[in-house]
Amino acid sequence: MRFSLTSQTSTDGVTEQSFALGEIPGVLFTPRGATGPRPLILMGHGGGQHKKAPGVLTGARRFATEGGFAVVAIDAPNHGDRPKDEQFIQFAGDMRARMAAGEDPTELVAAMHDLLAGQAVADWQAVVTAVQELDHVGAGPVGYWGVSMGCGLGVPLLAAEPRVRAAVLGLLGVHGLAGTAARVTVPVQFLLQWDDTRVPRDQALALFDALGSSDKTLHANPGDHGEIPAYETDDALRFFARHCG
C-alpha cells in the first residue's frame, strides 16, 4: 500500500501529519522538530468515534509533548472517513435500538467488534510498518492505548502482533474475547469505571482476569463509561515510559 502525507500542522509543541496508507486514513503526532527514532504509541478510538476524537487528541498530544513519543491514530473500519458497509450499518442500528429500549447490547457489541477485528488488526500492522520507516519515528518499541471499542479491537491486535510491547486497555467486558485475551502476554494497565452503565462490572473484571499477562494492573475509578479521570493519562504516560521508553 502507498503511504502519502496529506497535510501537516504544528501547534503547542506538537506536529500533526495527516496521512493515507492505501484506504486507511490516519494522523501521526510527534514532538515539534522531532528527529531520530522514538517509541510509537498506537491509539484506538471508541465506537462511533474517529482518529481525532477529543479523548484521542488529548492523549496523543500529551504522549508526544510529555513523553516524547510518536503517536498514531487511524479510523477503524466503518468509522470516520472510511465507507460504511450494510452489515455494519445494520449492527449499529440494532445496537442503538436496544440501548434506547433499555436492553443489554453486549452480544451485539461483541459481534460488531468481531466483524471489524480482522480488518482492524491488518490495518494496524500495515500502519506500524509504514510509520516506522519514517526517520523521526524509526523501529523502536510500540505501545497500544484503546478503551471501549479500542479495547475490543486492541485485544486481537495484541494477541497477533509481537511488536506491541505494552497496552492500556479497558471499558469492555469479556464476552467474545476470553480466548483471545488469554493469548495477550504483554504488560497491561486496565481501566474500569465502577459505575459503568454500558459494561457490567463483573464482565469487565472477567476480561481483566482473562488476560494472559503476568504483569497487569487494574485501575478502578468511580463514574460512568466515559468518565475516565484525567489523571489516568498521567499514569498511562508513566506506564509507557516504563515499558516502551
DSSP alpha helix (H) spans, the chain: 54-67, 86-100, 106-131, 149-160, 178-181, 201-210, 231-243
Q: Could you give phi then psi for residue 232, rounded to 5 degrees?
A: -65, -25
Distance of CA 77 to the CA centre of its chain: 13
Instruction: Determine whether 245 is exposed, middle or buried from the number of CB atoms within 10 Å of its CB (0-12, 13-18, 19+).
Output: middle
Give the span between the Cα atoms of 40 and 24, in whole angstroms.
18
Handedness of CA 188, 194, 198, 203 (dihedral sign): positive
Q: What is the pLDDT of residue 90?
A: 87
Q: What is the pLDDT of residue 106?
A: 87
DSSP 24: E
Give this prediction's pTM. 0.96
Report the CATH number of the 3-243 domain: 3.40.50.1820
Contact 104, 165 (CB under 8 A): no
Q: What is the pLDDT of residue 105?
A: 82
Give the span between the Cα atoms of 36 and 42, in whole angstroms.
18
Q: What is the pLDDT of residue 109?
A: 87
Contact 206, 181 (CB under 8 A): no
Q: What is the pLDDT along the chain (245 residues), one digit of tens a residue?
A: 899 999 999 999 999 999 999 999 999 999 999 999 999 999 999 999 999 999 999 999 999 999 999 999 999 999 999 999 998 888 788 888 888 888 888 888 898 899 999 999 999 999 999 999 999 999 999 999 999 999 999 999 999 999 999 999 999 999 999 999 999 999 999 999 999 999 999 999 999 999 999 999 999 999 999 899 999 999 999 999 999 98
Q: Which three cell numbers stand for residue 194?
A: 465502577
Using DSSP's 3-state secondary structure scheme, residue 155 falls into: helix
Give the span between the Cα atoms of 105 and 48, in whole angstroms.
15
